[in-house]
Structure 1
Amino acid sequence: MTAENQGHARRARLKRVVVVNPANYGRNMAGLRPPFGLLTLVSGLMGLGVEVIWIDADLIRSRQKVFAELRDYLDCDLLMIGGLSTAYKSIKEIISFVESSGSSIKIVVGGRVAKDTGDVVWKFNPRLDMLCRQEGEFVVKDYVEHWPDYKKVRGIEYRMGDDIVVNDVAPTPATFADVPRMRWEILDKSYFAEQGFLLTGRGCPYKCGFCRKKDSLVEKHRSMEFEEILDDIRYLLEKRGVNKITFVDEFFMQNKKRVENLCHAFQTLGVSFSWVCTTRANIIGEGDVPLLRLMKESGCSAINMGLESGSQDMLDKMNKKLRIEQSERAVSAARRAGLKIRPTFIFGFPGETRRTALESVRWRRRWGLKGGFFYATPYPGSDLYDQWLQRDSVDLAKEEAWLLMGPNLNYCNVNLTDMPDWKLRLLGIECALRLNPKRFISKKIQGLKRRLKGS
């Protein structure tokens, strides 16, 4: 521990904290990804001299095992739980367990579930003490310095009797330089079984209607320092033994000069590896073929791209800020460079009709983009979610039931179109068959086998 950290430890009132990564029951283990927000939160706490106990419920997936592990640490000062709204069921279970145990440990919930569904979290979890709607790593310093005086902790809300007190907003740095480095070492080897995931930036200036990014905190893109990216890559390659890395940034290719410099740096690391990134279609075109070829030479094998629809009407309704011809130029450029495109498409967004759905199918077939599609799903924090709440007059009880159900965009959880349910289901089947009949039949057979095995 450095002298600076020792100084923090001597004056810290917050001594021991349990941080729980809640289970995301709707995601299978093959989709296990590092909880980047919690990793930086843990790093911030440890850097300030706080002892952190890490419990990964998303990895354990057994309620009883999680509770048994947590029971040993209920004498800590604080229990921090953070995650997406899809982890709400696990968060509620953990809070209920603490309540039933009779422990007096203070509980704070953060992450997108707090930011986007805070009213639900407060109402149906009376044992909850605090809620953090901001990025937690920028709040922990106040926790450490002022604990247990909630009034001085910027960026949180806390319960006082029957009232919820909202504190001042915590300052959020404009760059990634002040974000604590992630503590990779706390993660189990299961996170690196097939590949490594790396987040090198946050934020997206676009406001697509289906995305959980409508708040101002994430509008400006912030990137990690160049050398820090290389340090993390070296760690993943040398210490964790991965040979493939997926960059999960929503806007990885925003700064093309940075991408070019990274490609050159990858070629000098002395270790070959393949990598995948994500970008928007309107960012790349025919003029970027040389850069795309450089990416391929440095190990890039594919680009994830949210094309969403082959119907301009639907793209406009989604507020995608994308033209069909831009998608075509992006696909063409990537293919000229020898890169594989891994597109995503959405079916059933409000305004979808048989005409728009089949228009999208025909466009995809013309460009050889068969694959499947995701169903439009209202996730908290998106404009689509607000539309659904208003359209169906959803109160807090119904909203919590939706969160507990764990909506999954691989299925039609709710009909958001003007079509009857039966017509939407039939249209979905028709589109899937027109796109890739072998894939559709194979998935149906696999589903039948799972049901027979379960019975």
Structure 2
Amino acid sequence: MLLVNPTHAQWWSSPYLSIGYIASAIRQVGGEVDVIDCQIQDNFGDAIIKALGKHDRIGFYTNVATIRNCLALIREIRKEKPHTQIILGGPQATAIYPELIPDYADIIVLGEGEETIKEIVNEKPLAQIKGVAYWDKRLKVTPPRPIIADIDTIPMPAWDLIPLEKYKFAHLKPIITNMITHRGCPYQCTNCTKLIHGEKMRYRSLDKVLDEIRYLVLERGVREIHFWDDNFTFNPKRVKHFCNMILEENFPPLKFALLNGIRADIQNEDMFTLMRQTGFYWVSVAVESGVPRNIEFLKKKLDLTKVPAMVSMLKRLGYQTTLFFMLGLPTDTVDTIQQSIDYAKKLEADQIFWFMVQPFPGTEMHHYVEREGWFLQDMKMGYTSYDDGKAVYEMPQLKAWQMEKMFRKAYRSYYFSLRQLKRVLTKPAEDYSLESVKGLLRTGWRFMFKGSRI
């Protein structure tokens, strides 16, 4: 089977763990598998068609940002290799499967895919496989598959199929990769979907995690690992145990980062101090909004009064700190966006990223916008405006042009502030590389021009 990540190349790239996990699952039942990642594959369209001379099945990972690319590739495959069986998985395919079958997919894996794909590869009748949608004269959907209770039964990703040296992350030079230590999230945030990993926190054993780190560091030369868990710091006791296990190893110099956006109300200073000693140096904090009404709409259960102390603690401990904010929430107005901007500017962060709100299909927020507002793009088939400051919907009290104007204002007012300019200008010259300068220019492009409808 050929597995494809349809994400196109950007200024940064990293392995898609889902592809690696599915590849390992296929191997567990003796299947042959190859991987093509469009982020790093030259002439990926030709490479996919060529690889289909060897494989009669192809599987795509889909999310809201990659579905358009995925469907374009499928149209070519339908023309060039019409007998290829096309299988889709991931949150986007799971959310909109009725709109993808039969034109774009023969089978869609709903939810977690490791157990399901093994049964597909073993040619089990589809009607007997839980958690699939398929076409048999009409659309058919089997009963849902329970989540995998013991995720230690899932082998680590097929790292040998992933050329780590080809990926790039901003200005960072050593070999970097990402991994996860748990699945699931108990929170009910309206902007998030639980279609794949569900609500129950399921942890990998730390011994398994350490085995994977040993392989990545000692066999593949990895010197920095980014954890993409939904809630890495949720269980401080477990994090401390992990840190002590790492400190007992005789690894080469190794760094860790949490760039997925941890919660802003877990202020366990002992934990963060030990993490810093272990090699954690960069933390992203998902604040999302400085307005209590917005936090309530998001169902984030975050006390905004606790955020300044946590950000100050991270800075005091020496972390590079990035904050995430959402701009243009369905409950936002121009005034509340300004309140969030003012709130964010008071926090002691190194960077702030403002993300124009994208209501993903399958989320409570998407249903809310369908009911109370109107979309400017068909989010079910993906959007074209990721990270470019374009609004994808409007609400009665907040128009697209207002969101885009405030998006530019948010970036300008933060990065042109005296405090931020001083931080950049006084940073040691050796901290900058050609790639980091390019990164600053990209940020400049964002707050100078993006969001302008020219």
TM-score tier by shorter-chain length is: 0.7 to 0.9
Per the alignment, residue 403 of structure 1 pairs with: 381
Per-residue CA distance 1:322-377 (angstroms, 9 max, x = gap): 01112223223323433332211111111212322222222222223463411111
Per-residue CA distance 1:3-51 (angstroms, 9 max, x = gap): xxxxxxxxxxxxxx222222x23x6141x22221221111111111111
Return closer, same or farther for 1:314/1:373 CA change in 2, 3 Å cut-off.
same
| Secondary structure at 1:204 match in 2 | coil
Return closer, same or farther for 1:234/1:304 CA change in 2, 3 Å cut-off.
same
| Secondary structure at 1:81 match in 2 | strand
Report the CA distance between 1:63 and its aligned residue.
4.6
Question: Given that residues 175 and 221 in structure 2 are in contact (C-alpha distance below 8 angstroms), is that contact kept between their aligned partners in structure 1?
Answer: no
Return closer, same or farther for 1:392/1:371 CA change in 2, 3 Å cut-off.
closer
Report the CA distance between 1:319 and its aligned residue.
1.9
Task: Please give the TM-score of this superposition, normalised by the length of structure 1.
Answer: 0.83
Return closer, same or farther for 1:291/1:387 CA change in 2, 3 Å cut-off.
same
Report the CA distance between 1:53 and its aligned residue.
2.5
Task: Please give the TM-score of this superposition, normalised by the length of structure 2.
Answer: 0.83
Per-residue CA distance 1:70-128 (angstroms, 9 max, x = gap): 34225x3x222223132212321232223212542322111112112212222xx5252
| Secondary structure at 1:344 match in 2 | strand
Q: Are 2:318 and 1:343 equivalent residues in the alignment?
A: no
Q: How does 1:365-384 map to 2 (within 5 A)?
A: 365-369=345-349, 371-384=352-365
Per the alignment, residue 195 of structure 1 pairs with: 176
| CA distance in structure 2 between the partners assigned to 1:324 and 1:127 by the alignment | 44
Question: Given that residues 184 and 202 in structure 2 are in contact (C-alpha distance below 8 angstroms), is that contact kept between their aligned partners in structure 1?
Answer: yes
Per the alignment, residue 178 of structure 1 pairs with: 153
Question: Given that residues 4 and 38 in structure 2 are in contact (C-alpha distance below 8 angstroms), is that contact kept between their aligned partners in structure 1?
Answer: yes
Per the alignment, residue 274 of structure 1 pairs with: 255
Per the alignment, residue 131 of structure 1 pairs with: 108
Q: Which amino acid aligns with 1:118?
A: Y
Q: Which amino acid aligns with 2:149?
A: A
Unaligned runs of 5+ in 2: 169-173, 422-439
Per the alignment, residue 293 of structure 1 pairs with: 273
| CA distance in structure 2 between the partners assigned to 1:372 and 1:110 by the alignment | 29
Decide which structure has greater helix share: 1
Question: Given that residues 137 and 180 in structure 1 are in contact (C-alpha distance below 8 angstroms), is that contact kept between their aligned partners in structure 2?
Answer: no
Unaligned runs of 5+ in 1: 1-16
Q: How does 1:66-215 map to 2 (within 5 A)?
A: 66-74=47-55, 76=56, 78-122=57-101, 126=103, 128-145=105-122, 147=123, 149-161=125-137, 163-188=138-163, 189-191=165-167, 194-211=175-192, 213-215=193-195
Q: Are 2:220 and 1:240 equivalent residues in the alignment?
A: yes
Question: Given that residues 262 and 286 in structure 2 are in contact (C-alpha distance below 8 angstroms), is that contact kept between their aligned partners in structure 1?
Answer: yes
Question: Given that residues 133 and 156 in structure 1 are in contact (C-alpha distance below 8 angstroms), is that contact kept between their aligned partners in structure 2?
Answer: yes
| CA distance in structure 2 between the partners assigned to 1:450 and 1:144 by the alignment | 48
| CA distance in structure 2 between the partners assigned to 1:170 and 1:420 by the alignment | 41
Return closer, same or farther for 1:421/1:231 CA change in 2, 3 Å cut-off.
same
Q: Which amino acid aligns with 1:204?
A: C
Question: Given that residues 292 and 304 in structure 2 are in contact (C-alpha distance below 8 angstroms), is that contact kept between their aligned partners in structure 1?
Answer: yes
Per the alignment, residue 431 of structure 1 pairs with: 410
Q: Which amino acid aligns with 1:248?
A: W
Q: Which amino acid aligns with 2:62?
A: G
Report the CA distance between 1:412 and its aligned residue.
2.1
| Secondary structure at 1:371 match in 2 | strand
| CA distance in structure 2 between the partners assigned to 1:388 and 1:259 by the alignment | 38
Q: Are 2:243 and 1:263 equivalent residues in the alignment?
A: yes
| CA distance in structure 2 between the partners assigned to 1:89 and 1:214 by the alignment | 22
Q: Are 2:395 and 1:414 equivalent residues in the alignment?
A: no
Aligned to 1:218, which of 178, 181, 198? Answer: 198
Aligned to 1:251, which of 228, 231, 237? Answer: 231
Per the alignment, residue 28 of structure 1 pairs with: 10
Q: Which amino acid aligns with 2:15?
A: P
| Secondary structure at 2:39 match in 1 | helix
Question: Given that residues 59 and 88 in structure 2 are in contact (C-alpha distance below 8 angstroms), is that contact kept between their aligned partners in structure 1?
Answer: yes
Question: Given that residues 376 and 409 in structure 1 are in contact (C-alpha distance below 8 angstroms), is that contact kept between their aligned partners in structure 2?
Answer: no
Q: Which amino acid aligns with 1:36?
A: L
| CA distance in structure 2 between the partners assigned to 1:407 and 1:321 by the alignment | 29
Question: Given that residues 41 and 180 in structure 1 are in contact (C-alpha distance below 8 angstroms), is that contact kept between their aligned partners in structure 2?
Answer: no
Q: What is the root-mean-square deviation of aligned Cα atoms in Å?
A: 2.9
Question: Given that residues 349 and 416 in structure 1 are in contact (C-alpha distance below 8 angstroms), is that contact kept between their aligned partners in structure 2?
Answer: no
| CA distance in structure 1 between the partners assigned to 2:211 and 2:447 by the alignment | 46
Report the CA distance between 1:226 and its aligned residue.
0.8
Q: Which amino acid aligns with 1:182?
A: P
Return closer, same or farther for 1:264/1:390 CA change in 2, 3 Å cut-off.
same
Report the CA distance between 1:59 and its aligned residue.
2.3
Return closer, same or farther for 1:409/1:449 CA change in 2, 3 Å cut-off.
closer
Aligned to 1:51, which of 11, 15, 32? Answer: 32
Q: Which amino acid aligns with 2:400?
A: D
| CA distance in structure 1 between the partners assigned to 2:54 and 2:404 by the alignment | 48
| CA distance in structure 1 between the partners assigned to 2:142 and 2:390 by the alignment | 39
Which moved further from structure 2: 403-412 or 253-262?
403-412
Report the CA distance between 1:282 and its aligned residue.
5.0
Report the CA distance between 1:317 and its aligned residue.
2.1
Report the CA distance between 1:436 and its aligned residue.
2.0
Per the alignment, residue 293 of structure 2 pairs with: 313
